[in-house]
Amino acid sequence: AQSVTQLDSQVPVFEEAPVELRCNYSSSVSVYLFWYVQYPNQGLQLLLKYLSGSTLVESINGFEAEFNKSQTSFHLRKPSVHISDTAEYFCAVKEGGGADGLTFGKGTHLIIQP
């Protein structure tokens, strides 16, 4: 069975500084990887996904994540954060060809300080 570890429960960052949110997974088979963002009292929104091909994937709002198979990681990065990026970020994995439910990490609360 797969699992997802998000090492940091909270990450405080100053506005316009870079940020990296870490995500590691464990699985014995090929996986698909996702980052979701959750704003207060809202559902999750898909930020970006890796299915195959280029290991670097980007979102429309400046986030990017790189799939590293040897390190079983899918860290999320942004070169310059904004106050509006304050939210909970969840990493999720789905086994290729397996059951369709996603396995989520516990989440990282990104706190942007002015």
Q: Which CB atom, from 1 or from 114, has the smaller least distance to another protein?
A: 1
Please state the closest distance from residue 114 (CB atom) to another protein, in A. Answer: 26
Task: Quote the CA–CA distance of 38 and 82 in Å, as a whole number.
Answer: 16
CA distance from start to end of the chain: 41
The binding site for another protein (CB under 8 A) comprises 4, 6, 9, 32, 34, 36, 41-46, 49, 51, 90, 92, 94, 99-107
Q: Which CB atom, from 51 or from 56, has the smaller least distance to another protein?
A: 51
Sign for the pseudo-dihedral over CA of 103, 105, 111, 112: negative
